[in-house]
Amino acid sequence: MTSILMIIGVFAGVAICMATLYSVAQAMMREGALRRAHAVAVIAVLAVMGALLEREVALARMLAVPLLGVAVWVFVVERGWYRIFPVMMQLFAGLLIAGYVALTPLPA
């Protein structure tokens, strides 16, 4: 793995963590469509992360497609500069769909 891919992976990880924390806060504080959109986004991100945790890359790639759709929904209902957070989710889902996930083998 090249160092550039590692740096992209670190930035993607930090970005998705920031976006998920923001969505958790919005799901607790807001009302209506914005609350529902952020709640579904949190569930979608956690589903993808759970699949990656279990080292199921194919499942994570399949779950990235609905995550991309949910992130677009959040982008539509969100206002202001806060739209950057769903864009981070979209980039994360795009990286997964494109296959930029390389899991290292577990030590024996």
The per-residue pLDDT for range 4-45, each reduced to its tens digit, is 877 877 888 888 999 999 999 999 998 999 999 999 999 999
| Predicted pLDDT of residue 66 | 95
Amino acid at 51: A
On the question of pLDDT at 102 being above 70, the answer is no
| Predicted pLDDT of residue 42 | 95
| Predicted pLDDT of residue 11 | 85
DSSP conformation letters of 83-104:
GHHHHHHHHHHHHHHHT---PP
The Cα diameter of the chain in Å comes to: 49
Q: Is the pLDDT higher at 61 or at 2?
A: 61
| Predicted pLDDT of residue 98 | 87
Annotated domain spans of the chain: 3-98
d(CA 16, CA 93): 10
The per-residue pLDDT for range 52-85, each reduced to its tens digit, is 888 888 899 999 999 999 999 999 999 999 899 9
